[in-house]
């Protein structure tokens, strides 16, 4: 079975989605790996950057997004069909990347997420219903070498469903005081969840994102974080591995990330300069750690 990797940070807007989408595209296109991206975020950013909005809207109406999966549990129905929900060959690159599939999210999840704790907990479950996603996708997992999960900036029930099935999680992080402040909290909460549910997720590491080379603070935070990564895990200041690859803040062609702006190659999408190379390096580094 393939590796399942979640992208998590409780802080919003740190580049989780952009990084997850890029990793999915690079693994699928450059490395010819079969990839499924699961968009667990009700903001649906990954979904709309990988597929046509009208087609997605129709699927949502037909119950072919993650909304229906959770709705079924609330309403005791069984409309959701994983094989219909997964969209094959997604991305605005080359009219769709052969090895890249998407399990789309839905804005409707915003309305139902507060009711989710009312779903009766499963047989194996102590506190909350976190096995729903696992039950739904287990029949398709064998098709994929990688499943990447884009998480919303919280540890609500929908996110926990992703964490429950993950082998690893990546923490994209802006190297400033406020953004790094919450890392121990993420590590602690995920570790508690892992123990409570006897699941197996491990931190793969922190990826520094939106790095500003002109910022003295950003420059000083990188060695500081690396220092913390070398502490014993029992130390309160410990953080997991800091990826060597750093994703800079770039005023790049934002248009290219729009689904409607079709491009032929990843180089066209991510620019011929550094951004393409950075995501390529990030993908290669990730492959060393799985
Ligand atoms: N390296 C970068 N350089 C410049 N802009 C970026 C970079 N990474 C992401 N962005 C832009 O910043 C915004 C936030 O990025 P993104 O949506 O990936 O963050 P996020 O952590 O997923 O946010 P949320 O918590 O809301 O899900 C987006 O408009 C995205 O296009
Ligand atoms: Mg996001």
Q: What is the CATH number of the domain that holds 272?
A: 3.40.50.300
pLDDT of residue 170: 98
Q: Which protein residue's CA is at the shortest distance from atom 25 of ligand 1? A: 12
Ligand 1 proximity of 94 Cβ (cutoff 6 Å): no
Ligand 1 proximity of 209 Cβ (cutoff 6 Å): yes
| Alpha-carbon distance values, 99 to 30, 147, 202, 256 (Å) | 10, 12, 26, 20
pTM as predicted: 0.96
| Ligand nearest to the backbone CA of 46 | 2
DSSP 142: G
pLDDT of residue 256: 65
Grouped pLDDT means (10 residues each) for the chain, 290 residues:
94 95 98 98 97 97 97 93 98 96 97 84 63 95 98 95 98 94 95 95 97 95 97 95 95 70 90 86 98
Q: 82 lies in which domain range?
A: 3-289
Provide the number of structural domains found in the chain.
1
Ligand 1 proximity of 42 Cβ (cutoff 6 Å): no
The per-residue DSSP string of 104-120 comes to ---TTHHHHTTTGGGSP
12 alpha carbon to ligand 2 midpoint, in Å? 7
Ligand 1 proximity of 16 Cβ (cutoff 6 Å): yes
């Amino acid at each position: 079975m393939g590796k399942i990797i979640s992208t998590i940070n409780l802080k919003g807007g740190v580049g989780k989605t952009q990084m997850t989408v890029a990793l999915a595209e690079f693994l699928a296109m450059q490395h010819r790996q079969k990839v499924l991206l699961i968009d667990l975020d009700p903001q649906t950013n990954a979904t709309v950057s990988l597929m046509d909005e009208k087609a997605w809207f129709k699927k949502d109406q037909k119950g072919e997004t993650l909304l229906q999966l959770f709705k079924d549990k609330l309403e005791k129905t069984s409309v959701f069909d994983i094989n219909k929900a997964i969209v094959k060959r997604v991305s605005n690159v080359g009219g769709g990347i052969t090895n890249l599939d998407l399990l789309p999210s839905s804005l409707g999840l915003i309305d139902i997420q507060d009711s989710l704790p009312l779903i009766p907990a499963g047989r194996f479950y102590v506190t909350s219903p976190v096995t729903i996603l696992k039950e739904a996708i287990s029949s398709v997992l064998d098709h994929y070498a990688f499943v990447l999960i884009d998480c919303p900036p919280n540890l609500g029930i929908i996110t926990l469903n992703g964490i429950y099935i993950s082998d690893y999680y990546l923490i994209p992080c802006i190297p400033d005081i406020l953004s790094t402040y919450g890392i121990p909290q993420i590590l602690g909460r995920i570790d508690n969840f892992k123990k409570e549910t006897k699941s197996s997720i491990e931190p793969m590491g922190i990826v520094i994102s939106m790095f500003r080379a002109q910022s003295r603070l950003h420059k000083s935070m990188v060695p500081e974080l690396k220092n913390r990564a070398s502490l014993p895990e029992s130390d309160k200041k410990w953080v997991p591995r800091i990826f060597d690859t750093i994703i800079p803040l770039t005023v790049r062609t934002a248009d290219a990330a729009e689904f409607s702006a079709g491009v032929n190659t990843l180089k066209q999408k991510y620019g011929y300069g550094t951004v393409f190379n950075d995501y390529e390096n990030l993908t290669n580094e990730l492959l060393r750690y799985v």
